[in-house]
Amino acid sequence: MDKIVNIKNLTINDNKNNILVNGVSLSIEKGEIFGLVGESGSGKTLTAKSIINLLPENLDYKVDLIETIGKNIVDMTKNEKRELIGKNVGFIPQNTIFFLHPMIKIKNQIGDGYIYHMNKSKKEALEKASMLLSKVGFENPDDILKYYPWQLSGGMRQRVNIAMALMNDPQLIIADEPTTALDSTIQRQVIDLFKTINEELGISIILISHDLALVKHYSNRIAVMYAGQIVESGFSDDVFQNPKHPYTQLLIKIIPTFNMKKNERLSEIPGFVQETGRGNKGCVFRFRCPKAMDICSEKVIENNIENNHYYKCNLS
């Protein structure tokens, strides 16, 4: 199978030399929905941004290889970068407020890239934009096109971003917590739309979320991140049926269940993601791990079991 994304050994530092992402390797096949999960601060967004060369300027990175859609993104020219982000990859950011220009009408933000990259007329752009806006749940898509972003709620802007990401028939969509600002009916509609475009058009999707239930339902494969590292990855069915890393086991345990009693509190993983010691030897999860052993502060073993199921833990 062809790879749509291939990252080897990515490390990202801030200017105080804190390690934010540590030795991440990731390969995503054409046509799959790949889930990237983990608590807040685990490095999902930075990893995703590195795929399209959009890392914040105050950060440095080192990598052996990053190829997106078969192109080495490290040496890309400005034009190639514009083409990658504007046409080949649809990026749906977590924070929609900074992504849309507040003073430009939706119809221009959504349509101009289509006219430019796809060589289409204004009329064609508006028709496609209107069709996509109705697919992401707007009942009045033609009115929405006339608005400025500041006239829309956070959830509406998120849906505009999703429609915008789909405009140029990209080969890859990176959706960073795409449904957090949406109510549950629209959430479902949006994710079902991802599923449809994945199945019908073969568009690959990276679904970044801390919502494990969502990722479980939609992804072929997943990677679980903790404190800047991938601690477990594999086919979703394997990882959910047979989670090997204690962190994944705990994450799965706290997925809300439908038979929870009213007012029952969702259990949480005690502690928080460590901000320090990410680059040190040993296991990054040892501070919170219920199964930690003395050896875990010294080293951590990388295991590969059947079906490309990978996990990083001293337990077998």
- The contact set with ligand ATP (CB under 6 A) reads 14, 20, 38, 40-46, 56, 58-59, 94
**C-beta closer to ligand ATP: residue 44 or 135:** 44
Amino acid at 282: G
- Cα distances (Å, whole numbers) of residue 308 to 4, 144, 234, 236, 239: 18, 45, 6, 11, 11
Q: How near is the Cβ of 45 to ligand ATP at its closest, in Å?
A: 3
Range 254-265 burial, b when 16+ CB lie within 10 A, else e: eeeeeeeeeeee
**C-beta closer to ligand ATP: residue 58 or 184:** 58
Q: How near is the Cβ of 15 to ligand ATP at its closest, in Å?
A: 8
**C-beta closer to ligand ATP: residue 43 or 86:** 43
Backbone angles phi, psi at 202, to 5 degrees: 70, 20
Q: How near is the Cβ of 34 to ligand ATP at its closest, in Å?
A: 15
Amino acid at 77: T
Nearest to 158 by CA among 170, 146, 144: 144
**C-beta closer to ligand ATP: residue 111 or 178:** 178
Q: How near is the Cβ of 16 to ligand ATP at its closest, in Å?
A: 8
Q: How near is the Cβ of 258 to ligand ATP at its closest, in Å?
A: 25
C-beta of residue 222 within 8 angstroms of C-beta of residue 34 = yes
Q: Is 1 exposed, middle or buried (0-12, 13-18, 19+ CB in 10 A)?
A: exposed
Handedness of CA 287, 293, 298, 301 (dihedral sign): negative
Backbone angles phi, psi at 222, to 5 degrees: -140, 160
Cβ neighbours of residue 272 closer than 8 Å, sequence gap 6 or more: 288
**C-beta closer to ligand ATP: residue 87 or 278:** 278
Q: How near is the Cβ of 36 to ligand ATP at its closest, in Å?
A: 8
**C-beta closer to ligand ATP: residue 41 or 282:** 41
Backbone angles phi, psi at 59, to 5 degrees: -110, 145
